[in-house]
Amino acid sequence: MTDLNSLGSKVTAVALVPGEQLLSSRLVEKESFLGPSRVAVPDGMQEISLKLPIERVVGGKISAGDTVGIFISLTESSTNGAGQAATQSAGTQLTFHKVLVTATQLSNGSPAQQDSTQKSEGSLNSGSNAQSDGNYLITVARNSVDAERLVYAAEFGKIYMSKEPTGATEGTTGVVDKTKVFR
């Protein structure tokens, strides 16, 4: 943000810290603000929650209002004529860019809370996660077609999220498999 007058009635969706660069992706309309661990779902979208371990959600540093990149990894096995596994192939792709996170929760369903050692409200790394199993529920807004793809990936593959702010460069090299890792 370079002009505060352009904010209009927008408010911050997450806590800001002194010296932090003000990004438009961290601001929402006042009517949309639902608290530090929730933001409204944009029109035409639906919400889908994904249960992911800490290493798959940027070390738990994702908050409602952030945008993320979603990587999907799938493994496929093919069988030979005798019904035995013949080959196995795996691939990963950055499938979705700048996906809005609408809610962050501990795996027990409680909203992410601010703790005394952190400045950011809604952070997943809360000191009150004694009842959590180390997984987090990250709820994202997607259209119905993308939601189907995310459900498939959650059921039959693996999902990683990267923190992908508005200014991040989008791109992908396609599906990365073992032949492309060292290129």
Summarize the confidence of residues 109-117 as an average pLDDT.
54
> Would the pLDDT of 160 be above 90?
yes
Q: Is 124 buried (19+), middle (13-18) or exposed (0-12) by CB count in 10 A?
A: buried
Buried b / exposed e along 40-71 (16+ C-beta atoms within 10 A): bbeeebeebbbebeeebbbebebbbbbbbbbb
> Would the pLDDT of 143 be above 50?
yes
Cα dihedral 112→115→120→121 (10° resolution): 40
Task: Tell me, yes or no, whether 172 lies in a domain.
Answer: no
Domain that holds residue 155: 9-163
Q: Where are the alpha helices (DSSP H) in 89-167?
A: 144-156
Top pLDDT among 146 and 113 is at 146
Task: Tell me, yes or no, whether 148 lies in a domain.
Answer: yes
> Would the pLDDT of 182 be above 60?
yes
Q: Are 1 and 23 in contact (CB under 8 A)?
A: yes
Task: Tell me, yes or no, whether 62 lies in a domain.
Answer: yes
Task: Tell me, yes or no, whether 174 lies in a domain.
Answer: no
Torsions phi, psi for 120 (to 5 deg): -95, 120
How many domains does the chain fold into? 1
Task: Tell me, yes or no, whether 171 lies in a domain.
Answer: no
Cα dihedral 28→29→32→35 (10° resolution): 50
Task: Tell me, yes or no, whether 90 lies in a domain.
Answer: yes
Q: For residue range 18-49, what is the model confidence (pLDDT) as tens digits?
A: 888 878 777 777 666 666 577 888 899 999 99
Task: Tell me, yes or no, whether 176 lies in a domain.
Answer: no
Determine if the pTM surpasses 0.75. Answer: no
> Would the pLDDT of 119 be above 80?
no
> Which pLDDT score is estimated for 118?
41
- Average pLDDT, rounded, for the chain: 81
